Structure 1
Amino acid sequence: MEQSQAPNGLSSCYRHPGVETGVRCTRCERPICPDCMVAASVGFQCPECVRGGSGTGHAPGVERPRNIAGGAIASGDQQLVTKVLIGLNLLVFLAGMFSTGLVDELVLIGLAFDPELARVVGVADGEWYRLLTAAFLHREVWHIAFNMFGLWVLGGPLEAALGRVRYLALYVLSGLAGSALTYVIAAPNQGSLGASGAVFGLMGATLVLYRRLRYDLRPVLGLIALNVLITVVFRDVIAWEAHLGGLVAGAIVAYGMVGGPRAMRPLFQWGACALVLIATVGMTVMRTAALS
C-alpha cells in the first residue's frame, strides 16, 4: 500500500489520513500517529499488529502483521526463546556445580593435555562442539548473574523485534563467533567459557536496531562503552576476544536482518548469517591446521 506524504517529507498516518507523523510501526512499518501508537518492548506498534500478535486476528484485507525483520508475529510469549536460553544456562551452571568434570569436558580449549583424562583435548583435537558448549558454561555466581541480566535486558526486546528464529540465529552465531576468535587468539591451552560473546552480540544488534528505528543511540553506546571499559580493565580475567567477536558478529547479523531492502530482505538476512558462519568456520579451520 502506498502511503501519502506531506510536503515537509512526513508521512500521513495510514489510519488517519492527513495526520502527519514521523513514527512507523515496528512490525509492519506503516506510519502511525500518536493516537494509534501502542507502546511495545521496542518502539511502537499499530493497533492491527497488536491484535494480530495477540492472536485475535487482523483487519480484513490487511496483510498479516509482520515484525521489523519481515517475519510473521509469533503467538504467545514474545520472550519465550530468551527465557529458554536463560533456563538452559542456569541448568548447565547447576549441573556443573554437582559434576566436577562437566565443565572440563565442555569448556573452550584449543589444545592441551588433560592429566585427569590422560589424553589430549581441545578443538584442535576434533572437539569442535566446545565452541558452542563453552557459551553455556559459567563457574562463578557473579559471572552467570551478570550475563543472564544482560541476556534478559537485551534479549527480550530483540526477540520481539526479530522473531524467535532470527533471534536464536543471532544469539547462536554471536556466541560461536566469539568462541572462534578466542580460539584463534588465546589457543592453544587457555580455557574460556561464558555467554559473554553472545550477550555482546545482542549489544551490537541493539545498536543496529536503534539506528534502523532512528532512536537515540546514546544509551546503547553508553552501555557498550561501559562494557568495553570493564573488559579492558579486567582483561587478565575476561576473554576480550569473545566480547569483540560476538559484538562484531551480532552487528553484522542484525544489519542483515533489518538493514536490507524489503524486496531482498530474506537474501540479506540469511546471507549475513552465512557470512558470519563461514567466517567462524574459516577461522576455526585455519587455527586447527596451524596447531596440527
Structure 2
Amino acid sequence: MNQDQDEARQSSLPSCYRHPGVGTGISCTRCERPICPSCMISASVGFQCPECVRSGSGTGHAPTANRPRTVAGGALPAGDPQLLTKILIGINLAAFLVQEVVGFRFTGAFYLLGGWPVQGFDGVQGVAEGQWYRLLTSMFLHGGYAHIAFNMLSLWWLGGPLEAALGRARYLALYFVSGLAGGALTYLLAAPNEPSLGASGAIFGLFGAMAVLMRRMKYDMRPVIGLLVVNLIITFTWSGIAWQAHVGGLAAGVLVGVGMVHAPAQRRALAQWGSCVLVLAVSVALVLIRTAQLT
C-alpha cells in the first residue's frame, strides 16, 4: 500500500473521540466510541476507553477493573498527581516553623541522637535509651533556612515525577524507608553525642530511585547524575553534613527503586514490598548493633 492509499484509508476511518483527526478502526467495547491506540486499554474482551475504565460503566465491571497502572504497577493517582509531595513539604515546613518559634526545647526532643547526654540536652539519652521515634521525627527537622530550602526544592523536583511514576503507596514507602535507612547508618557510624536532623536521607533515596527509573525508561540520565554528583561532592567537602544519612538514603533508594521498577509482573507485589522490608530489616539491625555498643 503506497502513502496516498494509506492516507486515503486513514481519512475514511472514524476519528478517535479523544484525539480528533486520528483515524481508527477500533471502538470501545462499552460505549462503542472510536478509540486510537493511545487510548486503548486492554480488557477481557476487546479494548475500552479511559473514561469507561475510570467510571466502571457496563454490567459486571467494578470501577477499578482494568484501571490504568503506573510503570511500577501502582494505580494512577486520582486528582492532584503531586498530592503526597505537597503534603510532605507542608509537614517539613510546619515542623521548621515550630522549631523557629519554640527553639531547642522542641528540636532537642526530636532530632537523632546517640547514647550519651549532650550539654543542654537535659540528660535525655536518645535512641540508645529506646527512643526509636527519633529515627522518624528527625527526618522532618532542619538546621536552618538554607538546609530546609535545599531539601524542599529537591523534594519538589524529584517527588512529583516519582509519585506519578510509582503510585502514592510505593512513593511513600520509598520516602520513609530511605529516610529511616539514612538515620540508621548515621546512628551506627556518627559520634554518639553528635545530633543529626534533616530530610536528606529521604531526598537522597529519591535521587537513587529516580536514577533507576530513568535508566529503566531509557531517558537521558545526565541531568540527574550530574545533580547527584554535585550533591555528593558537597556532602563530603562541607563540614557539618551527616554524610552517613546521604549515603544510607541513596543506597536504600537504589535498592527499593530496583525492586519497584524491575519487579517481574507475576511477582510484582512480592518483589516491591519485599525490597522495602529487606531495607527496613537491615536498618533495624544497624540500630540494634549500635545500641548494643552504647549501652
TM-score where L is the length of structure 2: 0.79
Question: Which residue among 174, 177, 186 is the counterpart of 1:182?
Answer: 186
- Unaligned 5+ segments in structure 1 are 1-14, 16-34, 37-45
Q: Deviations over 1:21-50 (max 9, x none)?
A: xxxxxxxxxxxxxx96xxxxxxxxx4457x
How many correspondences in the alignment? 248
Task: Measure, in 2, the Cα distance between the counterparts of 1:123 and 1:130.
Answer: 7
8 Å contact kept, 1:111–1:187: no
Q: Deviations over 1:203-240 (max 9, x none)?
A: 00000001111112211111111111111221x21111
Give the 3-state SS of the residue equivalent to 2:72 in structure 1.
Answer: coil
Q: 1:259 to 1:53 in 2, by over 3 A?
A: farther
8 Å contact kept, 1:53–1:74: no
TM-score where L is the length of structure 1: 0.79
Give the aligned CA root-mean-square deviation in angstroms: 2.3
Question: Which residue among 209, 217, 220 is the counterpart of 1:216?
Answer: 220
The residue aligned with 2:269 is: 266
Q: 1:121 to 1:67 in 2, by over 3 A?
A: same
Task: Measure, in 2, the Cα distance between the counterparts of 1:118 and 1:193.
Answer: 18
- State which structure, 1 or 2, has the greater radius of gyration over its C-alpha atoms: 2
The residue aligned with 1:94 is: 97
Task: Measure, in 1, the Cα distance between the counterparts of 2:149 and 2:106.
Answer: 20
Matched, 1:126 2:130: yes
Task: Measure, in 1, the Cα distance between the counterparts of 2:256 and 2:54.
Answer: 32
Task: Measure, in 2, the Cα distance between the counterparts of 1:265 and 1:281.
Answer: 24
Shift of 1:90: 0.1
Q: Deviations over 1:160-217 (max 9, x none)?
A: 0001111000000000000000000003110111111100000000000011111122
8 Å contact kept, 1:112–1:188: yes
The residue aligned with 2:284 is: 281
The residue aligned with 1:138 is: 142
The residue aligned with 2:195 is: 191
Give the 3-state SS of the residue equivalent to 1:72 in structure 2.
Answer: coil
Amino acid at match of 2:81: Q
Q: 1:77 to 1:116 in 2, by over 3 A?
A: same
Task: Measure, in 2, the Cα distance between the counterparts of 1:288 and 1:48.
Answer: 55
